[in-house]
Chains A and B, each alone.
Chain A
Amino acid sequence: MATTTMSDFRVDPVSGLKVNRTANKLVQWNAFAAVVFLLVGGLFGLLVALTRMPSVQLLPPELFYMALTAHGLVNLAVWIIFFEMALLYFCGAHLLNNRIATPAWAWTQFWLMLVGAALVAVAVLGGKSSVMMTSYPPLQAEPHFYLGLILFAVGALIGCFVFLGTLVVAKREKTYQGSLPLVVYGGLIACIIAIFTIVSGALILIPTFAWSIGLIGHIDPMMYRVVWWAFGHSSQQINVTAHIAIWYLIAGLVFGAKPMSEKVSRFAFLLYILFLQLGSVHHLLSDPGLTSAWKVFNTSYMVYLAVLASMIHGLTVPGSIEVAQRRKGLDTGMFTWLRKAPWGNPVFSGMFLSLLGFGFIGGITGVVMSVEQINMIIHNTMYLPGHFHGTLVAGTTMAFMAVTYYLIPVVFQRKLALAGMAKLQPYVFSLGAWVFSIALMGAGTLGVQRRHADITFAGQPLAYEYPEIAKGLMDLGEIFAVIMAVGAIMFILVVLASIFTGERITEGSAPWPKVEDADVTAEKAGRKHIGAGGFEAPGTFVLALVLFVTIVLYYFINFKYLSTVWGMS
């Protein structure tokens, strides 16, 4: 039963937010581990980038494949999932003025994930597990590679259930009234997808571990891919859901915005649970043994209903900001609300760049490349790393960085240090990520294959030479990868400087100044009708139309290109 006392909490005097000390410590440790792993994975990424530059080629092939395996696992899994654990605890405890359920299990989550990550690191750095993050059999890694992944996943699964328990506690102890806040609801959706994801991972990694120690004689390579991608793809859907929840959170924190419609935003989140997982087939479109009917149904997330959900969030998040800004008096013109947004505040600029990067770079290309037929001219080319750096780096990682800038004062009770660097960081990082993604997608369209230590095929009698422009695009892209790495290092410097040397925020003083709810401001000013032409968010609608026209054009350009290649039937 409720055994918490007031001293277990500290209260933010401005927002009234009650912060549970144990929950706060868990958020701190998970977020800190995440940032350390971002640094580690990012350095491996830098090595990969410098090797892929045709004019530099830093690492020899064996080291390159090791670095690429490490970069993929650390950045795609470890950094992101540690951060998501911090995020879930923040949603369940901080946002609901709540304590955390079963702190002992939550610490088990943390240590299991850490031990798991360490085991994988030992295996990969040992050099005998350079099987890429996908580890497709019959290529075999060392047993502790799979064991580490399993421990890491079990840790994350425990974290998910601690979060669910925390929601139960909040309901029972009545720490909030009525329905869950939209942001926490988004966190809950991410948690449900995470449970599905981790169970799928266990279903395939446990037998693969048994195979690696000789208990099972054979793992069917196709069966592995079908089940593994229910884990590999769905884990990216956790990220999408989590970073969209962060977009809504930051819109609320910075602008006092509320959703344009609770119903629409929640329904869009619900569509993710129902349909997003079908997208696992995106990775299987060029595989033998699966029928076209199965591929078409799944690759479209059943008539693109999960794409619809993302297009809805893509409108309602900036829409809610526009409505809030207009309610606060910026109700003139089309884009005054956006022009006068706080572009010097990295919490906002990072969030909005994440929204644009994810929508225009990651989102549009994702929809087009997952068409059953177009996949044939894109599958496993450099287009893929281009695409998923658009979603994972320009989208998810940028959003996680933006919310970190908000969390440092709230969770670590320190003011942001190196404020000038923080202000610049989202622009540097996004510039790097955007150009990198676009350049790699260009190179992939011209045929350059991914996961190649040497795209020049130097010294091979049957050597193929990619077009000069493709090599130029690789050089260009990897130069911007270095800029992206500089952006990541700036972020890490700001975080470390703030946590260890930032000015302390004493208990009883507020981490951030008060932001009034946009509705309250509007009511005080007697402002009722906003917008233009019968639209409350006309500027956002115009931006959405730009996205729409881009996706339609890009879709048909790709079909035009497809129609010129060799006939296949």
Chain B
Amino acid sequence: MGTSYTAPTNPDWWREPIERTEVVWITLAFSWCVFMFGWMIAWHWIGNQNMRNEAYQTTPEKFSKHLSEQAAKYAVRKDASMPDEDVIAPPPGSDVYLAGMQWQWRPILELQKGQTYRLHMSSLDVGHGFSLQPENINFQVYPGYEQVLNLTPNKSGTFSIACGEYCGGVNAVGHHTMLGRIYVKE
């Protein structure tokens, strides 16, 4: 007797046996839950794509200083499509600094395929999203926080960085025009 929207007719419903359909399904579903939990942990050892979750507090001033030091050391040429912009080519294994700001990602970087770099990301103003295309790798970037990641490009070519977090703007410039670039050499 009874329905889902009336009080249970058996006051001792806690002791009613569970029917087989539910028992089998719950067993199967729970096993999958445990597997997914284990797999996510295991990927930290068996997978090559993991977040480092290394982070530091910083300030826009401190981070800007890293950027200008980096530019002084590793600028190699002016960019072909933006003649005012330096292309920065840090050596493999070194620290690379990349900043999001309203409304661009700077500097333009040149990396080598198969080499690993320590990429430091931060923002100089509001929250931004690092979005590497066409790889489609995405991170949040905030003012005051410096996130570090060991990055190993496994393809060569021209890659773009779009912004993944709404960061304001007007019609002509804004979140929708925020771009950066990474060149990867063979």
Interface set of A (CB-CB < 8 Å, partner B): 60-62, 65, 95, 130-132, 134, 136, 138-139, 176-184, 220-222, 225, 248-249, 251-253, 256-264, 284-292, 295-296, 299-300, 303-305, 307-308, 311-312, 315-316, 319-320, 367, 371-373, 376-381, 445-447, 449-455, 457, 460-464, 466-467, 517, 519-520, 531, 534-538, 540-541, 544, 548, 551-552, 555, 559, 562-563, 565-569
Contacts and interface: CB of A to CB of B under 8 A. Distances in A.
Contact of B145 (A132, A222, A519, A569): A222
Nearest to A535: B21
A447 B134 contact: yes
B94 interface: no
A259 to B, nearest CB: 6
Given A304-B33, A371-B40, A451-B166, A180 B7 contact: yes
Given A221-B143, A288-B142, A300-B40, A181 B7 contact: yes
Given A315-B22, A540-B21, A376 B49 contact: yes
Contacts of B43: 372-373, 559
Closest 3 CB pairs of A and B: A464-B160, A567-B152, A304-B33
A130 B169 CA distance: 10
A179 B4 CA distance: 12
A305 B33 contact: yes
Given A264-B18, A464-B162, A562 B47 contact: yes
A108 B181 CA distance: 54
Nearest to B105: A462
Given A445-B136, A462-B179, A569 B144 contact: no
A179 B11 CA distance: 7
Contacts, number: 322
Contacts of A130: 168
14 contacts: A131-B166, A179-B7, A183-B5, A225-B140, A289-B55, A299-B40, A367-B36, A379-B138, A381-B136, A447-B134, A453-B176, A454-B176, A460-B179, A566-B153
A132 B164 CA distance: 13
B151 A568 contact: yes
A178 B21 CA distance: 27
Secondary structure of the B side of the interface? mixed
B136 A262 contact: no
A308 to B, nearest CB: 5
A253 B5 contact: yes
A370 B36 CA distance: 11
B113 to A, nearest CB: 10
B135 A256 contact: no
B136 A377 contact: yes
A136 B52 contact: no
Interface in B49-82: 49-53, 55, 81-82
B146 A288 contact: yes
A62 B170 contact: yes
Given A249-B4, A373-B40, A563 B47 contact: yes
B29 A535 contact: no
Contact of A315 (B25, B50, B134, B147): B25
B21 A307 contact: no
A122 to B, nearest CB: 20
A125 B175 CA distance: 20
A548 B28 contact: yes
A457 B177 contact: yes
Interface in B93-136: 108, 116, 121, 125-127, 129, 131-136
Nearest to A283: B140
Given A289-B55, A290-B53, A517-B1, A568 B174 contact: no
Contact of A262 (B8, B82, B181): B8
B167 A538 contact: no
Contacts of A139: 126-127, 166-168
Contacts of A453: 174-176
Given A312-B26, A461-B82, A537-B21, A376 B138 contact: yes
A179 B167 CA distance: 51
Contacts of B175: 65, 451-453
A449 B2 contact: no
A262 B9 CA distance: 11
Contacts of B22: 260-261, 264, 312, 315-316, 319
Nearest to A286: B139
A275 to B, nearest CB: 11
B15 to A, nearest CB: 8
A340 to B, nearest CB: 20
A337 to B, nearest CB: 13
Contacts of B145: 221-222, 288-289
A464 B136 contact: no
Nearest to B30: A308
Given A541-B24, A559-B47, 5 more contacts: A134-B166, A136-B126, A182-B4, A372-B51, A453-B175
B7 A248 contact: no
A569 B41 contact: no
